[in-house]
């Protein structure tokens, strides 16, 4: 099939939610992508913060291929060995207690918001200006960007405060708030780093008001900031943390981690969440980061840049 045929089929059959670059990639190795004409591209997009090990890392490829030959899907009605192994590893590296697995960042945020509502029995959310938390109705309700929200209003009851403004937070997070959700380092909003004490204040404000503190580390997690999680730069622990993007090594995987609170049987679920393939890939990602000492490398490259 020629590139022009791909473009034509896309415009005829695929809903036009993205403006795409006119290129058809067919292969990737490390940081390099190859298009259908054999041209090489150095990939600075990295699958939008997903390909933390580059393209087709041998450990991820081996994990996915060997798993695919054994068993691909059974559902969460049964035990899934790679799922429990990955849950243990994620808890070890994050210091959190429990994990709910899903398939994307927005689903991880959605689960976090449901957990906050169930725990507090409150309905209102506080989020930050320039936040991005996802496109499903709950996550969209706490996403600041007007253009992505507007066509879908009314959304959930949410208020936006300026990112990094401790006074605004103290004024807004009261006893009617289910959760304050925040990216420890904002991603889509422009790689914004909050003042050193901001997240500590957020912790205190949530403790005082009984609101749940949710960290969205979908983009800042898995080593991207030179620590496993950006929260480590601030020494603050959330009640709930949403993960996605890089944890699945390119396969669709999201995770909601919690400490002190949890869903019980029947309160939430996912047909595909925590399946064999993404969890095997997720284990390979953690192994590769540890074995390659990549978090240290990331910190050093950050300094260099
Ligand atoms: C911080 C943050 N949270 C959530 C999401 C949503 O993730 P997904 O696109 O996998 O639903 C994104 C995506 O860019 C993000 O950057």
Q: What is the pLDDT of residues 210-220, one digit of tens each?
A: 999 999 999 99
Q: How far is the CA of 133 from the centre of ligand 1 (A)?
A: 5
51 assigned to some structural domain? no
Q: Is 138 in the pocket of ligand 1 (CB under 6 A)?
A: no
Pair 115, 153 in one domain: yes
pTM: 0.98
- Spacing, Cα 217 to ligand 1 middle (Å): 9
Res 177: pLDDT: 98
Residues 9, 105 within the same domain: no
Tell me what the mean pLDDT of segment 103-117 comes to: 98
In a domain, 110, yes or no: yes
Q: Ligand 1: which of 46, 106, 163 to mutate, judged by most atoms within 8 Å of the beta carbon?
A: 106
Atom of ligand 1 nearest to the CA of 107: 11
pLDDT digits (tens, 9 = 90+) for 189-211: 999 999 999 999 999 999 999 99
Asked, for residue 50, whether it belongs to a domain, the answer is no
Q: Show the domain range for 220.
A: 58-304
Residue 255 and residue 113 share a domain: yes
CA of 105 to the centre of ligand 1 (A): 5
**Which residue stretches of the chain are H helix?**
3-13, 46-49, 58-70, 81-94, 105-120, 137-141, 146-149, 166-172, 198-209, 276-291, 294-304
DSSP code at position 192: B
Tokens found for residue 174 = 């009261």
Same domain flag for 28 and 147 = no
Answer yes or no: is the C-beta of 132 below 6 A from any ligand 1 atom. yes
Q: Are residues 159 and 200 in the same domain?
A: yes
> What tens digit of pLDDT does each residue of 11-62 get?
999 999 999 999 999 999 999 999 999 999 999 999 999 999 999 999 999 9
> What are phi and psi for residue 63, nearest 5 degrees?
-60, -45
Ligand 1 in reach of 244 Cβ (< 6 A): yes
pLDDT digits (tens, 9 = 90+) for 232-283: 999 999 999 999 999 999 999 999 999 999 999 999 999 999 999 999 999 9
pLDDT at 232: 98
CB 120 within 8 A of CB 213: no
pLDDT of residue 269: 98
Centre a 10 Å sphere on the Cβ of residue 36 and count the other Cβ atoms it contains: 14
Number of domains in the chain: 2
One domain for residues 289 and 189: yes
**pLDDT computed for residue 143 by the predictor:** 98
pLDDT of residue 59: 98
Mutational test site, ligand 1, from 219, 240, 242, max ligand atoms within 8 Å of CB: 219
pLDDT of 10: 98
Mark whether 187 and 288 lie in a shared domain. Answer: yes
Q: Is there a single domain that holds both residue 106 and residue 209?
A: yes
pLDDT, tens digit, for every residue of 140-180? Answer: 999 999 999 999 999 999 999 999 999 999 999 999 999 99
Positions marked active-site? 132, 216, 245
Same domain, 77 and 11: no
> The domain spanning residue 172 has which CATH number?
3.40.640.10
Q: Please choose, from the candidates 203, 210, 122, 212, the residue with its C-alpha nearest in 3D space to the C-alpha of residue 166.
A: 203
């Amino acid at each position: 099939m020629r590139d022009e045929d791909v473009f034509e089929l896309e415009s005829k059959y695929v809903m036009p939610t993205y403006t795409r670059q006119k290129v058809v990639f067919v292969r990737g190795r490390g940081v390099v992508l190859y298009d259908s004409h054999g041209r090489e591209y150095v990939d600075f997009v990295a699958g939008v913060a997903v390909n933390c090990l580059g393209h087709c890392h041998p450990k991820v490829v081996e994990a996915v291929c060997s798993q695919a030959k054994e068993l691909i899907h059974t559902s969460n009605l049964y035990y899934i060995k790679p799922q429990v192994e990955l849950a243990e590893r994620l808890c070890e590296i994050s210091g959190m207690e429990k994990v709910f697995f899903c398939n994307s960042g927005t689903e991880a945020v959605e689960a976090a918001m449901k957990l906050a509502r169930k725990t507090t029995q409150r309905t209102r959310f506080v989020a930050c200006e320039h936040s991005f938390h996802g496109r499903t109705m709950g996550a969209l309700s706490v996403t600041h960007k007007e253009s992505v929200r507007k066509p879908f209003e009314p959304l959930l009851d949410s208020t936006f405060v300026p990112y990094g403004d401790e006074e605004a937070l103290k004024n807004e997070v009261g006893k009617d708030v289910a959760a304050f959700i925040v990216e420890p380092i904002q991603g889509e909003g422009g790689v914004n780093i909050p003042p050193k004490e901001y997240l500590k204040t957020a912790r205190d404000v949530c403790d005082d008001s009984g609101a749940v503190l949710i960290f969205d580390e979908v983009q800042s997690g898995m080593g991207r900031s030179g620590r496993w999680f950006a929260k480590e730069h601030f020494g603050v622990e959330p009640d709930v943390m949403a993960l996605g993007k890089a944890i699945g090594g390119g396969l669709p995987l999201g995770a909601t981690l919690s400490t002190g609170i949890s869903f019980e049987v029947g309160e939430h679920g996912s047909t595909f969440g925590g399946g064999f393939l993404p969890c095997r890939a997720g284990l390979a990602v953690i192994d590769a980061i540890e074995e390659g000492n990549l978090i240290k490398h990331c910190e050093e490259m950050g300094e260099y840049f």
